[in-house]
Amino acid sequence: MKIFRFIPILAVLLILSSSDANAQCKAFARQTCIPALEAFTHDGNYHATTLVAGEEAELYKTFYSGMEYRLAVCGDDNLPPVEFRVLDANRNVIYSNKESDYARIWDFKLESSQQLKIMVRVTTAGPQTTTPPSGCVAIMFGFKLKQ
């Protein structure tokens, strides 16, 4: 019955380790991705998580007509290229960085306000190992105010 005394301790350790990983990814986003926004104003949100090669994540975000936006996707140096696609409400691909040699940024302006889906996937390109690489992937948004 001693094992039941260790379950709460194990649960606390798991929670602390996952929050530590999120904090590390947030710091990665600050240091690596925000500079990629350059002349665009960061929207104040940090979208970052740890992904393994082959894994995918998605995010929904509303964008407004007439504004200029920059989308920056950054991955740890030890990861293979990170692919991202932007889809509209009808699941039409508006942009894919795969056709742009896995570019990390995309600048755009929409004719109408809409919610878009951003899908990121760590590719499996490169040498296959028994343990796939993992690391932080961040999605950051910037905007320019109308002038």
CA neighbours closer than 13 Å in the CB half-sphere of residue 66? 3
Place of tokens 């948004």: 141
pLDDT value at residue 12:
41
pLDDT value at residue 21:
60
Residue pair 36/142 in contact by the 8 Å Cβ criterion: no
- CA–CA distance, 4 with 146 (Å, rounded to integer): 60
pLDDT value at residue 1:
52
Print pLDDT tens along the chain (147 aa).
Answer: 555 554 444 444 334 334 456 788 999 999 999 999 999 999 999 999 999 999 999 999 999 998 999 999 999 999 999 999 999 999 999 999 999 999 999 999 999 999 999 999 999 866 666 788 899 999 999 999 765
- Domain spans of the chain, in order of start: 3-144
pLDDT value at residue 14:
39
pLDDT value at residue 131:
83
pLDDT value at residue 6:
46
Assign domain 3-144 to a CATH class: mainly beta
Claim: this prediction has a pTM higher than 0.85: no
Residue in 70, 27, 69 with CA at minimum distance from that of residue 48:
27
pLDDT value at residue 28:
92
